Structures are given as C-alpha cells and as structure tokens.
Amino acid sequence: MRFLITGANGQLGSEWIHFLRDKKKSYIAYGSDQLNITNRARVLDVLERDKPDVVVNCAAYTRVDEAEEKADLALLVNRDGVKNLADCCNLIQAFMIHYSTDYVFPGLSEDQFKYPDGYPENAGRLPVNAYGRSKLAGEKILEEGDFQNWLLIRVAWLCGEYGSNFVKTMLRLSAERKEIGVVDDQLGSPSFTFDVVEKTCFLLENNKSGVYHVSGQGLISWADFAESIFQKAGTETIVKRISSNQFPQKAKRPAFSYLSTKKLQQTNAALLEWGNGLDQLLYRLKNYKTKQI
C-alpha cells in the first residue's frame, strides 16, 4: 500500500512521515509549498504520476483568528482544496483520508450537559467562526459529493512532537514566566498526533469509512491542561485561571469542544486517556531538539 501525504510539514503531516518511516511503509510526502491543493491541475498531475493507494490530506488553513478577515482564503484551502483532492482520488480510485475539527460544532457551554460524553459524530453542526465554517464546508464536500472511498477524522486541541501547539507553547513560556494566565471556561480534551495517526491507520486497516472522532478521554479546561503540563514537566510556573473575556481573541472560541469517541471504541480500538497521552508527548519532547524532523 502506497501513501501520499499532503501538508507534510505540519503537525499531522510530520507525524505521518515518521510513523510510515518507522513502519517501513511506502510513501511520498509533499509540503504545501510543493503541492498546493487549491491547484486542481497540479493535484491531478501529482496523483496520476505517483499513483498512491491512499491520500492523507493534512493540508489545511488553520489560522483561526486570521480567517475572520481571510474567510475566502480559508474556504479556498479547506473547501475547494478538499474537493480537488476528492475529485482526483475518485479518478485514480485512491482512498482519501481527511481531517477536520471540533470547531464545526456550536461549542455552547450548555452542550456539556446535553452531550456529557462529548459531541457524537452526527451531532448538529453550527460553527461559531470563519475557520469552523470553512472546515464544515470541506466536510460537506465529502458527505454530499459522489465520493465512495473516504475517511474523515475530527480532532480537537491537536498537539504533538512537531510544529506549534499548546503544550510546546506552555513549556516555552514556563521558562520565561512565573505565572501564566490560561482560560478555564473552555472545555474539551486534547488529540495527540501520534494517537491520531495510529487510530487512523487502525481504521484504515479495518476497512472503516465515514466520520470518526479521535480525542483523549476525560473532560478538562485549558487551565487544567496547563497545570498538568507544568506539574508533569517539573516546572514551578503557576497557572492563573482567567475567563475567555479576559483573553479576547478576534475569532470566537467554542466553550465546549469535547468529542465523543464511542463510535471509535466500538471498533475495539484502544482509547487514550488525555493524561497518559500527555505523559507520552512529554517523554518524546525531552529529546525533541536532538531529533531530525
């Protein structure tokens, strides 16, 4: 089985490369500067030449705040780019894997009571910002088009060994500050890139298709997450719990981002508790600077 990775320089793309390399799988990977998924002719040329069995789309416009002013660009990548890939996968009969986000859901605080186990895959979607709307548009491309062979994985609070993310930001800031303000009224659970890739491969190997959630087990706030990062990393930085109103951002953030993984559990996949996932990530990051990406 031959894989083609788009967005190879990002968090997930980098994780995929290392996973496939470790497993000695056949793959080819393209950064967004090498393969712009908004260029349909280029996408078709590459897929027809490389003839992958599986296309893993890790390319996305993810600048949440900038998307408020660049909604057209977000749609170009997250909707039109997805359609280009899906169309070309259909033409060469390749299986397509695509990633989406908790931001497609309403994220209402009261939803934590309506969905105590997290949003199920089929919960009503109503994004609260431009980024979420662009990702939802990409989901609808797959769901409403004439595409048969695809797997859509939603993740939340994505973090891993490569690229920029909350865990690495907190570790960096803890070396600079004695106290850090972190919001405690946004709830969810992190998805760890190594777990996302492993679970995606598990679903692929078990011939699953459609929509699945991959996220850590256990509901926490960003402040809870930061405190655990500092405690496990052995730093003395104190978390100052603040409200979202005290940390204004251009794009509105969901108050509730927890994703249910019951559907994933039904496949007999082993679920990852968020604290265990953090332990594994921190262990990997200890040697991060000495590893070649």
Positions annotated as catalytic residues are: 131
Dihedral sign computed on CA atoms, order 13, 87, 199, 258: positive
Tell which residue, 187, 206, 160, 224, has the closest CA to residue 19. 160
Say how far apart CA 183 and CA 288 lie, in whole Å. Answer: 27
> Which residues, in sequence order, are bridge partners of residue 271?
none
Q: Which of 212, 208, 197 is nearest to 259 (CA)?
A: 212
Q: How far, in Å, CA of 285 to CA of 218, rounded? A: 22
Q: What is d(CA 195, CA 192) in angstroms, rounded to the nearest whole number?
A: 5
Question: Do the strands 54-57 and 2-6 form a parallel or antiparallel pair, or are they unpaired?
Answer: parallel
